[in-house]
Amino acid sequence: MERGGWWRTIPTESLWRNLGLVGVLVVLFVIGAIIRPDLYGDSDWVVNNMLVILQQAAAIGVVTVGVTFVIIGGGIDLSVGALIALAGVWSTTLATQSYGAGGMIFAAIAVGTIAGAVNGLLIAYGRLVPFIATLAMLVAARGLAAQISGKQTQVSADQFINGIATKKVAGIPMLVVILAVAAALGWVLLNRTTFGRRTVAIGSNAEAARLAGINVRRHTLLLYALSGLCCGIAAIMLTSLATSAQAAAAELYELDAIAAAIIGGTLLSGGRGTIVGSMFGVIVFSTITNLFAIANLPTEVQNMVKGGIIVLAVLVQQIRFGSLTALFRKP
């Protein structure tokens, strides 16, 4: 404090990174306005479009909260897309639907959490590498989802579930509210609780954390269960959006969630990351998808740009903000 001045209290690095991502969003907005001035000139349309972007970011955003925890804790979860599909399919089968919206929500969250806990058990107590354990879960969960659904699209007839996606709270879509709550809870859990501090400690150095008295195994199990829980919530959100669930749904969500976390500044090697950064990462991707649709550009171009942005974001962060933060570092 005495050497660096007041700015040392600000988390400088993540602030710069988030400002960078806000810059990216501004640039994307300007590009949109140049391509389609007819649409971007209409303020009602602009507001509505922003809500659409946020709504599309909602389900993947909730998953990203869980994935961010797992990565900060030094792990990786490749199974999230498959877990969403499994939880979604399970909650929309006819038998489950007959229990009503409560039964469907409970089934989705229970299936997601239990499957996530299985990941955690395999990794923490079975000593499987996270990459392998969650890869195996990815394959198995998709298989189970296909089996349960009979490979058929499971249409949701529940008006409450289907209505979640169309409801608004004070003009804000319900899905965006759910994301905001999930992100806020995630932020509190990471920054204001022992659980969060332990997650960072384990991700930084698991052995040191163990020697410091942290039950690393149990904590690891809880991290993957948390990721699964987020998948269960996302499954309900996705079911509500598409009024159905399918074994092939949420394809490649794992890559989107991991990429969003990394763009938001989460270190793949663990020990560092922020929920706010991850949320910015998700919104950047959602904005790109939206912009490309408005510009009528094909999906493959969008995927190429996505890949480019991931590389660029990491490079820029390493080179630029890395050197900027060095300015504030102790000599």
Partner 1 sequence: MTHSSRRSLLFGGAALGAGAVLAACTSNESNNPTTAQTKGAEASNPNVAAGKAVTIGFSAPAADHGWIAAITNNAKAQAAAYSDVTFKQVEAGKDAAAQRAALDTLIAEKPDVIVLLPHDGKELNAFGLKAMEAGIPVVNLDRAFPDALAYRLQIKGDNYGMGVAAGHYIGKAMKAKNVASPVIGEIAGMDELELTQERSKGFADALKTYGFKVANRRAARFTADTGQKEAQNLLQALPKLDALWNHDDDQGIGVLAAITAANRSEFIMVGGAGSKKAIEDIAADKSVLKATVTYSPSMASSAISLGRLIAQGRGMADLVELQVPKEIILSSETITKENAGTYLKLGF
Least CB distance to partner 1 at residue 116 (A): 13
Map the footprint of partner 1 across residues 80-99, applying CB under 8 A. 90, 93-96, 99
**244 lies in the site for partner 1, by CB under 8 A:** yes
Contacts with partner 1 by CB under 8 A: the residue count is 54
Cβ contacts of residue 78 below 8 Å, gap of 6+?
131, 134, 135, 137, 138, 254
Q: In this chain, which stretch among 11-19, 187-195, 238-246, 274-282 interacts with partner 1, using CB under 8 A? A: 238-246
CA gap 136, 119 in Å, rounded: 9
CB 138, CB 254: distance < 8 Å: yes
**238 lies in the site for partner 1, by CB under 8 A:** yes
**46 lies in the site for partner 1, by CB under 8 A:** no
Q: Which of 64, 246, 274, 317 binds partner 1 (CB under 8 A)?
A: 246
Three-state SS for 219-285 is HHHHHHHHHHHHHHHHHHHHHHHHCEECCCCCCCHHHHHHHHHHHCCCCCCCCCCCHHHHHHHHHHH
| Pick 27 or 293: Cβ nearer partner 1 | 293
Instruction: State the DSSP H helix or E strand holding residue 168, giving kind and residue range, or none if neither.
Output: strand 168-169
CA gap 188, 213 in Å, rounded: 23
**62 lies in the site for partner 1, by CB under 8 A:** no
**290 lies in the site for partner 1, by CB under 8 A:** yes
CB 161, CB 235: distance < 8 Å: no
| Pick 81 or 130: Cβ nearer partner 1 | 81
Map the footprint of partner 1 across residues 176-235, applying CB under 8 A. none
CB 128, CB 218: distance < 8 Å: no
**159 lies in the site for partner 1, by CB under 8 A:** no
Instruction: State the DSSP H helix or E strand holding residue 34, giving kind and residue range, or none if neither.
Output: helix 12-35
Q: In this chain, which stretch among 15-23, 64-72, 144-152, 310-318 interacts with partner 1, using CB under 8 A? A: 144-152
Least CB distance to partner 1 at residue 163 (A): 10
**114 lies in the site for partner 1, by CB under 8 A:** yes
CA gap 225, 221 in Å, rounded: 6
Helix/strand/coil for 172? strand
Q: In this chain, which stretch among 10-18, 162-170, 196-204, 257-265 interacts with partner 1, using CB under 8 A? A: 162-170
CA gap 231, 86 in Å, rounded: 9
Residues lying near partner 1 in the complex (CB under 8 A) are found at 36, 39, 45, 48-49, 52, 55-56, 90, 93-96, 99, 103, 106-107, 110-111, 114, 142, 145-146, 148-155, 162, 165-166, 238, 241-251, 289-290, 293-294, 296, 298-300
